[in-house]
Structure 1
Amino acid sequence: MPRAQELSVGQLAERSGVAVSALHFYETRGLIRSQRTAGNQRRFTRDTLRRVAVIRVAQRVGIPLATIREALATLPDDRTPTRADWSRLSTRWREELDARIRQLSQLRDTLDECIGCGCLSLQRCRLANPADELGRQGDGAQRWKEASN
């Protein structure tokens, strides 16, 4: 890689607005790659700037780092991610976020019933015992019975 196209970790941090420690962390997690100089200094290709931007946006919306790493692994090495790449990645993440939003909305909508009952009854609580599933298994503490077997 030509030297003019390389960025030191400090330059990458300054240009991306991400702390050097975070860049080191991303590298250890396999999200970005560097090459080493003869003096053992990290050097990053310029396309790493766009990859860091993708990582930061994905993190901001709650995408786990493992999922981000898998997505970045589908991109060709040493090529700046394109608008088409972003569209493909974000479409997949959108489905995951939509599912999470549905789950959180359902949780929010049933939370008031638990608080409203006043006693936090496991028999009635939609959070701890949805649709009284444990009640169908018999009387008493069903989870405790499972643990003691």
Structure 2
Amino acid sequence: MPKSQRTPAGDALTNLVLDLFRLNSLLLTAGDRLVAKLGLTSARWQILGAIVDAERPQPVAWLARDLGANRQNVQRIVNDLHAEGLVAFETNPHHRRAQLVVLTDKGRRAFDAAMALQMPWVNSLSEGLSVKDLQTVHRIVAALRTKLESETEGHT
């Protein structure tokens, strides 16, 4: 049986994907360490960021979609954030059962504190990397994400 049926691009993409898996794990661990003293985790910080980035309050299902995450996992984290007073729920005029998730003042302060920690960390991490190279990687990752999202939508 042949060792590999992949094209050279397929081999290169496989290597990139494996490195991205490792990078994701390292980023989550680093993020957890960075925001631990704020009572956050990478996952909680990510949800707060999605709420901040949204143009208007959204239900959990939309936040999960925007994050490319499992709705049940996002709901669990949102419930934890709610219990800690970092988010609140508002009535959704378009859907009675799907409440809107909004940041509280305490949640905004926690998010802002996390971002204040992130700035020097990310600036240090980016030292020695060219902006052009980072932009190229970003375009490639975005293109792969778009392809995968369109494949996923075709199977639902």
TM over 0.5: no
Instruction: Name the structure where helix makes up a greater proportion of residues.
Output: 2
Which of these two proteins has the greater Rg computed from alpha carbons?
1
Q: What is the TM-score when the length of structure 2 is the normalising length?
A: 0.27
Structure of greater relative contact order (alpha carbons < 8 Å, 6+ residues apart): 2
